Structure formats: structure tokens, C-alpha cells
Amino acid sequence: MSSAILKTPWGEIADSPGVRDYTPPLAPSREVQRGYPEIAALAAGCRFPDCLHLREPQCAVRIAVDSATVDARRYESYRRLLNLNRQLEERRGWGG
């Protein structure tokens, strides 16, 4: 059996027999919030333009979570995904 590239409307998929694990390319940490529209919409109100909404002062997202404007479970999901992204970056030697 040999490897094959399958073309799809959104890109290409590699089918390589014997490969069991695959991690897709990572989005930069700053881009993770794009998967959470409510967080991305509030980001412009943060004090710092590169805010990741974790511990930065005057973070509009954390203020919204504290006031229950943003669902705490959604925010925690965002934090977990951001953390996973960072762990994968570190494993690949791309992160700090």
C-alpha cells in the first residue's frame, strides 16, 4: 500500500498507511479566540491588543465572564484549547 493525497473542497488530506497519529498545523495562540465569537467580539475592549484573556489586567473578556455576560464554561473551553495549543507548540519546539 502507498500513500495518497485526497483533494477536498477545503484542502487536501494525506492517507498514509501505518501512520496512526497526526496533529494538524496549529493556529497561533492569538487566533484561538476566533473559534469563540463572543470572546473575539469583546477582545477589542481589552487594554492590550495582544491580550490572550488569561491574566492580563483590564481584560474585557474576563470582566464579561466575571459578570456572567460570557458563559464561564465557554471561557473555560477557550482556556483549555489555548493551553492544549501551547503544549503542542512546546512539544514541537515552536513555543517558549
Write out the three cell numbers for 69: 455576560
User: What are 36-94's pLDDT values in tens digits?
Assistant: 999 999 999 999 999 999 999 999 999 999 999 999 999 999 999 999 988 888 877 75
Residue 46: what pLDDT? Answer: 97
pTM confidence score: 0.71
Q: How much is the pLDDT for 53?
A: 97
17-21, 30-34, 49-53, 80-84: segment of lowest average pLDDT: 17-21
Question: What structural domains does the chain harbor?
Answer: 28-92 (1.10.40.50)
State residue 96's pLDDT score: 47
Residue positions counted in the chain: 96
